[in-house]
Structures are given as C-alpha cells and as structure tokens.
Amino acid sequence: MTAHMKTTYPAITPFVTKDGSIIRELMHPQVHGNRAQSLAEAIVPARSATLAHRHQLSEEIYHFTAGQGHMRLGDDELVVNAGDTVCIPPGIPHALINPYDSELRLLCCSSPAYAHDDTEILQS
C-alpha cells in the first residue's frame, strides 16, 4: 500500500449504479488500494428517485451536501437537507426521493466497501 492515496474529482468518471443514482467512486479498495471502506458521491437528479434497496453486509453513512429530498429508511420517511447525515444499518431497506427542481447530492461512506453483489433491489 502506498503512503498517500489521492483522487482528483474531474478524473473520476461517474456511472449509474443498480439503484439508479449517479455515482462517483471517490475512494474504493478495488481501485485505489485503501483497505476497508469506500467513499462515493451520489447524485439523485431533479424529480427522480432511487430504487428501494438494501445491503446485507455494508453499513452506510449518507452526508447530504446539496439540495433537499426525502429518504425512506425502513418503515420511516425522513426529510433530508444539505448538512444532514443519516446512518443506514445493514439489512435496512432505503431509497432517496427527489421531487424538487434541483439535484440532491450526498457523500456515501460504506463499510465494508460498496459492492454490487451486496445490493439487493427491492422494487422494479
């Protein structure tokens, strides 16, 4: 492992993940060589939503950096705004809903690191 691991935002190509959000993997063990967690930026475009899903292994922490929206977390629905942080324990169904005219942006930390195989989509 190198002593310093650094990524540069413009060099990271975004992609659409299984839940429908636009993701930039800012730091991920399979790409950058860190060990136990991943950090990504997610964007939920205006007037859209992610698919309800859960992760059996990963705990996630979402920190909202721009916009506002709603988050389904288990049986609850929360209003989320820039500056809010939400912890999602493993196994809890969740989704983001953005009914507004501006995008919803967040940082998502996953431990263990995000894996497509650990994402179970709960709706079609």
Give the list of residues 6+ apart from residue 12 with CB closer than 8 angstroms, or none. Answer: 24, 25, 26
pTM here is 0.91
Q: What is the pLDDT of residue 1?
A: 46
Q: How sure is the predictor about 98, in pLDDT bands with cuts at 50, 70 and 90?
A: very high
Q: How far apart are the first and last CA of the chain?
A: 40
Tokens of 45: 């475009």
18-113 architecture in CATH? Sandwich (2.60)
Q: What is the pLDDT of residue 3?
A: 47
Least confident of 3-7, 10-14, 37-41: 3-7
User: Would the pLDDT of 2 be above 60?
Assistant: no
- In the chain, the percentage of residues whose pLDDT exceeds 90 is 79
Q: How sure is the predictor about 31, in pLDDT bands with cuts at 50, 70 and 90?
A: confident
Q: How is residue 8 annotated by DSSP?
A: -
CA distance 61 to 54: 13
